[in-house]
Structure 1
Amino acid sequence: MASRLSFSEEDLSCSVCCDIFRDPVVLQCSHSFCKSCLQDYWTQKRSGRDCPLCRSESTTDEPVVSLILKNLCDAYVHDSSARGAAEGEEIGELCSLHGEKLKLFCLEDGQPICVVCHTSRKHKYHECCPVGEAVLNCKEELRTALKTLQGKWEAFDKAKQACEKTAAHIKMQAQQTEKKIKDEFEKLHHFLRVEEAVRVTALKDEEEEKSQVMKAKIEVIGRNMASLSGTIRVIEEKMRVEDISLLHKCRTTMRSSQPTMQDPEMGVVSGVMINVASHVGSLGFRVWEKMKDMVEYTPVTLDPNTAAPWLILSEDLTSVIDSEEKQQLPDNPERFDPDTGVLGAKGFSSGSISWDVEVGDNTAWVLGVAKDSVLRKGKVPSILKNGYLSIYYYHKMYFAGTSPLTRLGLKKKPQRIRVILPSTNTSLPIWEHVRANQVEVMWSVAPYSITVQITPLTSQKAQNKNKLAAKSFFTKSSRDTYICDSFLSGYCQFKFTCELHHTPYPFHWQLRCQDTHHWVNASLSAQVKLEKLYCDIDRETIRLQDMTDVFTLHLDTMKVENSVKYDKARRLTNSSNPGSNPYFPTEWNLYWWNDSSWEKYENEISKDLLGEMEAGKSSLWFYIGKRLYELDFSRLIQMNVTTGFKRRDSSLSKADQPTQVLPSLSVDPLQEFSSWYPPVWTLSPNQDFSLLEVPPSTKVYQSIYSLFHSTMPETKAEIISIQQVQNIFQWDKYQRQKEHMQSRSADQSGSLERHLFHGTTEDSAKEICLNNFDPRVSGKNGVAYGRGSYFAQEASYSIKYAPATGGGGCQHMFLAKVLVGNIVVGNSSYCRPPQLNPLKPGYELYDTCVNQMPKPSIFVVFDSCQCYPYYLIKYKVVPDIVNICE
């Protein structure tokens, strides 16, 4: 049997890598190398192809593969592996070269070796250690590296969460700031709108007054001209006489021809021109001066990004209160935490400045100035050595912020502190207490010497500041939902320290944030819209929108549904006690559910129930007719005591319903007027038609407003504008038709004309203003009572035929003058009214068809001369979704 040849590892090792040949190749000089080792050698050398051992040049580009040497290397490796496996050792624990167990670990090469490798030329002088010890060291290094990586990952995760919270806070800040900006500009816009309306009304009043003067003068001149015309006509007739009779009457005629009236003044009467200068002279400056009284400059605005999480800043960033609950705010470097401090938004490095701080009756406070470099993270005293110049108040004592604290001997409790930074030394403030007797307290801390000067404040500027401060609005995060009656009446002596809310209306809507539990105010325009919807007894929910967040408010529970930001709402209200607020106490209506709709209690019962509820009683027994009922105030459940049957009750504010209070003027457009054209007619004869805007402060607006809302409550629709339609051609036709019908039926002149509603589209409204209502195009919305123009007595009926058009959702409705005359119940086949009396000869017809008799509510006319588009009302349906930010 043939025996296997024996080779050593050195015989089968590459002289370049000192390892077993891998893909061996042989050169012309008979030296062998690994193919990859030879290629790497040639690549590094870049010039020539010589042998790494003997340096002889090789003439071949590709060296010859040595298959014999490759087979020998493979057989050697296979025999070594098989020998190790036969001894029961795992391949991974045996040396691939010698088949020996790997018992050592080369520290220099970083690989396990066997005992034979340790004595070989490659590892002979290397430092080694046992494999077990190397494994423990490796695990310890990996454990340390893993712990470091895990710690770094956790740090990145925390940083990511902090960045996400900061990004969310930035978005919330942007939304709240945008809302505040819009609120402030809305106040200015409201002021300008009111100011414009007042000045336009004054101009119209002057125009009407001076027009009446000229009208009276024209009437006098007209009468004189008529008298002269009669005299002239008589003289001309007598001059046509040719015989002697003219001579007999000549003297008499001459006496009658002498005019008795004085010659008219050829010029315009003095003082009747519009005083244009008084209306437009320096108009912008005068409005600006008046606007200055409604704004207030605050020298110090607090920076919310520096406020500690326990501090709550007012909306205008001028006041701060301490809270027991820590807010979830980003831990940015500028913020004080855990110290409860806040800095002003603007720093000062030069110049002179002063400001007042209202401390009121607070039990503890610290105020002063600080370096921008003061420590924000950590709890350190606000004293001089830490970068502060401050005054302390706690335990009913006052201290200067020195180290240790210096007690100040103040005899009276300050309500306001004035901080003055003099221009000579801006790092050293002067303190003034503005509501105490003259006192001076001095203390020294090298190198500073500080004087606290306490002096009363009596300047007019300060008094104006107090007056303006009384007009500032704020709400508190307390559970109390009452608005200060004194503030609504004009002045609250407690100002910002008042425990009640200071709001612009006797109602105020807020929503609570889920995360911070802070109450967020709805915008001023949203306040009125919310109140209108709340005053609708049939409404159970309101759809609200905040930016892209759309959600539902349940009015019964005041809970918010489907919102990512808010969880509940509340409605602030003023007192219903006439004693504390005799001008506008909140009045409430009580309703009970009759299985189909809400029904209002009688006034006397409602008054008794509200009185007992105000007194804090839990329930009340009362009679309705002969039945005895009990009303549970806590659950608002009414129970029949005899049968035990229960019904729901509900209360609704009626005084808070935002009705428009308008001054009463002398002109009512719905009443008869003696002139041919309506009052304030400004259209020139060469115009087709014009639309004259009706100011909200006039009697015209008030009358139409009341008539429209008598059937369309403010909770359903909101008037945008009212315009008078002036069309001379159509008006003249209407007036002549009116005279004709009056002469024909003098006995019904009182009921001849009515003011009725007609709903239409925007395009049709323009057509009607130009060409009047046209019965020839009837039938679009039905012909139940005839093929004519339809008018309704109630606006709530006409609104069905006034769809919203355009992007703003504006709807159009006419308040038309309609000559009703003789009426008869209509029929869909009528193209004109039927005969008035078929038994009598002639063709006299009824004037108008109606839906029913008596008490008709729908009128159909077939002659366009019987109607005129008197006023155009533009309005919006109160939306189901209220944007609380707009």
Structure 2
Amino acid sequence: MASSTPSRSEEQFLCSICLEVFSEPVSTPCGHNFCKRCISQTWDSNESCFCPCVKRSSPSDHNSRPTPSSLRWFLSGNWRRGDRMCPTHQRPLELFCNTDQSCVCTMCVIREHKNHEVLSLEEAFEQEKVSLQQTVTENQRLVEQRRLKVQEITAALELSEREAQRETQQMVKVFSDIMESVQRCLDHHTKVMEQSLSKHKERAQALIQQLQQEMCELEKSSTEAQQLSLSTDPLHFLQRCPALPPLETSLSQKFNKVFRQVASESNKKELRRVQTFAVDVTLDPDTVYPRLVLSEDLKQVHHTDVRKKLPDSPQRFDYCAMVLGKQSFSSGRFYFEVQVKGKTEWDLGVAQESVNRKGEITATPKNGFWTIVLRDKDKYKAFAGPSVLLSPLRPPQKVGVFVDYGAGLVSFYDVDSADLLYSFTGCCFREKLFPYFSPCNNYGGTNSSSS
């Protein structure tokens, strides 16, 4: 039974004919709801079908249709919640406007949402459930995709960490090996230096002992000479007078001898050091001057009066009797030796790659050449800009050339005596360096020996 004072929400579910809660509720086209029995009796007792609320006829073909969803909604008790009612018409929200994506009542459909696509709540509910399930499935797919990406990135990061650790371990081992090698070299060098110093000390001590002995002998001789100078007997004086060399001359000879010995040992040691950087050099036929003849093994060169027909390539010297080595060097150290025995003129040294090879050439550092030369049988010079006159103790038979590219050093040695002939220092190398040779003209056979 309905309450004697029904609330506004309850009134919406009372039949306006019997004033009781709907029994088999139906609605008219105008939107009013009645019990099926009540509206049927009303229409049966009248000639025309009209809505008892508005007194407007309803076509007979528009049979009242039951609204089971409304009844279920009412019986569930949810009608008491305001969010289930249309705030405009105070009717149940039992339809869904797909156009505006909102829940509507039957009055909304014939007014505000007229001609819109309208679905029942059940249809919209099923569609939204399908759409929601698709969204859930898509989200799960995206989550799985990102989870796999996270795993991939994590695996790549772990691999990178392992690679970094492996490379670090390798570098540590390499540097440890280098440090051990450096330490071994340092120990060896220290040992060699100590041995050399020990030998020098032994020689110096032997020389000191010898000098001390000579000093004693000289002092004894001096004492005897002083005593003899007091003699008044000419015969006795002349018979006993010792024939001693002057003191200064004797000492000077001794010190000069020692100096030469020490200098010779030092020079030999330095020559042995640079000889460890020896390289094999062959002559380059593409650069040779047409009047020069190369040996079959490309190790020797001499001048001839016959000019050969050779291609005039950019690499070839066309006016000066010059040739370069085939090997080039752009870093580190290298050393080679040149046989010059029997020659009255020659040039040798190194040249940079970009030197001029056409016409007359002056082989100076300014033009990319670092050389020493022999002229007129006995005039040795270093072409250092202004020429530097050299004074070797004896004519070199074999000359060694040593280059330290990084240090900017070019040194020339007399291989037989180990004497340093000359050094170019502070050179600034920016190109490849090539061994350089010139046997000069043969001058009718007086300078025909091969270099």
TM-score (normalizing by structure 1): 0.20
Structure having the larger proportion of residues in strand: 1
Larger radius of gyration: 2
Q: When you count helix as a share of all residues, which structure comes out higher?
A: 2
Which has the bigger relative contact order, CA under 8 A and spacing at least 6? 2
